Amino acid sequence: EVQLVESGGGLVQPGRSMKLSCAASGFTFNNYDMAWVCQAPKKGLEWVATINYDDSGTYYRDSVKGRFTISRDNAKSTLYLQMDSLRSEDTATYYCVRDDSYYFDYWGQGVMVTVSS
Amino acid sequence: EIVLTQSPTTMTASPGEKVTITCRASSSVSYMHWYQQKPGASPKPWIYETSKLASGVPDRFSGSGSGTSYSLTINNMEAEDAATYYCQQWNYPSMWTFGGGTKLELK
C-alpha cells in the first residue's frame, strides 16, 4: 500500500524557516517524480514544487522561487521541502504527492504550516 | 501562463440528477485530470488523462473534452458525490496548474 506521511509543520514567525519531510513507502520511491501541493485555509489547490525521480531537475511556482527548496533522499525514501523567508501568504496545508506522468496519483494526509507573529 | 477556469464555482444537485462541471483552459492543453476533495480530507485522484477513471471511482462518473474545454459528468447524482472537484493540467512553461474548484452540494 502506498503511503506518504508528512511531518514538520507548525507555527513559525514571518521571515523564519521551516523544513517539511515526507516519508514514502509501498512503492519504489526512486522511480517517481515527487511534488508538494498546498492549500490555504478554505482556498483551492496550488502546485508548489516538483523534483525528478533521479534528482536531475527541480521546478517551482513563481511565488516560492528563491525561497523554497525541494529535495529528496532516495536511500531513505524521503521527500523534503525547505521553506525560507516565510510569509503570511505561505500559510497552508502542504501535501506530499506522487507524480505519475504529471498526474498526482497519491496524496499524503497533509501538514499545516502557519506563518504568524 | 495557462489559467484553468471552472464553472460553476458552486452548485447543488438532487439525487438521480445529471451533473456537469466544466473546466476551461486559457490555451489549448493536451489532457485534463480531476480530483475530488471532501471537507477535512486530502484530495483524491478521480479522473486522469481526460477520461480514465481512477481506481475505485464509480462508473457513473465520466470525463471528456479536448483543446480548451473539458468536463466531468456525473450520471445519477448520489449523496456521496457531494464534494469539491478540481481540474488540473501540466503544460510547459506554466507547469502544473489547478482550477479554482467546483463545490457540489446535495439538494
pLDDT tens string B13-42: 999 999 999 999 999 999 999 999 999 999
Instruction: Determine how many CB atoms are found less than 10 A away from the CB of residue B74.
Output: 19
- Across the range B51-72, mean pLDDT stands at 97
CA B56 to chain centroid: 16
Q: Which positions ≥6 away from B101 have C-beta within 8 Å?
A: A44, A45, B6, B9, B37, B84, B85, B86
Contacts of A111 in chain B (CB under 8 A): none
Q: Measuring CA to CA, which residue among A23, A18, A27 is closest to residue A4?
A: A23
**A114, β-bridge pairs:** A11
Cβ–Cβ contacts within 10 Å for residue A116, how many?
10
User: What's the average model confidence in pLDDT over A70-80?
Assistant: 98
Instruction: Answer yes or no: do A35 and B96 touch at CB < 8 A.
Output: yes
Residue A1 grid cell: 500500500
Q: What is residue B13's predicted lDDT score, i.e. its pLDDT?
A: 97
Cβ neighbourhood burial of B97 (10 Å; 0-12, 13-18, 19+): buried
How far is it, in rounded angstroms, from Cα A46 to Cα A43? 9
**A23: contact with B, CB 8 A cutoff:** no
pLDDT tens per residue across span A33-49: 999 999 999 999 999 99
DSSP, res A46 = E
Residues 34-53 (A) with a CB less than 8 A from some CB of B? 35, 37, 44-47, 50
pLDDT for B61: 98
Q: How far apart are CA A111 and CA A94, in angstroms?
A: 5
pLDDT computed for residue B93 by the predictor? 77
CB contact under 8 A, B88 and A45: yes
Round to the nearest angstrom and report the end-to-end CA distance of chain B. Answer: 36
Task: Name every residue whose Cβ is closer than 8 Å to that of residue A42 and which is 6 or more positions away in sequence.
Answer: none
> Can you spell out the DSSP letters for B10-49?
EEEE-TT--EEEEEEESS--S--EEEEE-TTS--EEEEET
Measure the CA–CA gap between A20 and A34, rounded to whole angstroms: 14
- Name which of B45, B54, B86 is nearest A45 (Cβ-Cβ): B86
Best CA proximity match to A29, nearest among A58, A55, A49, A60: A55
